[in-house]
Amino acid sequence: MDALNNFGTAMKWRRFNGEPVTRNIVDEVEEHIIRETQMGNKLKVCIGTDSQVTYNITEFATVIVFVRQKRGGFMLISSEKTRQPFTLKERMLHEVSKSIEIAYRICELLDKYNVELEVHADINTSPQFKSNSALSEAMGYILSMGFVFKAKPEAFASSYCANKMVH
């Protein structure tokens, strides 16, 4: 069974070209790891979530980015919309929660194949930005789960990849 999103429904995944992922996300990730390893590629997986509020609808996009060492990468995407209102800090922490949810689902698999994992938060490390108010909680949440934490400007999975899926 696939992971449930924070709204209680199964997360639906797709490839960058829009093609739906029809099976369990763990099985899909494992197939990509096996295929890429057989092709001689060393992988790192980065997970990030971004959101965009338009009127009273918040859209979240979570991405699993497969980075091939010196050979580009590819990603899987899950998007969802909600009318649930969030303060900025709540929305930032909800993004982090969604990324951790997926990281937790696939971390055993990544350990099995010795694939590095990073969880990226679309939170600015500079106090002059509003998103910074969620930085310490987000960092504590991610690190307490045993994951490597990256924030802006190093958090490309959330700041660039997921960002492009909600804009």
Per-residue confidence (pLDDT) for residue 130, from 0 to 100: 83
Encode pLDDT of 134-152 as tens digits.
Answer: 888 999 999 999 999 999 8
In which band, very low, low, confident or very high, does the pLDDT at 4 lie, cut at 50, 70 and 90?
low
How do the domains of the chain map onto residue ranges? 14-166
Question: Is pLDDT above 80 for 10?
Answer: no
- Please choose, from the candidates 141, 135, 107, 103, the residue with its C-alpha nearest in 3D space to the C-alpha of residue 122: 135
Q: Give the predicted TM-score (pTM) of the model.
A: 0.90
Pick the CATH number of 14-166 from 1.20.120, 1.10.150, 1.10.530, 3.30.420: 3.30.420
| Pair of tokens at residue 106 | 């696939």
Alpha-carbon gap, residue 57 to 36, rounded angstroms: 37
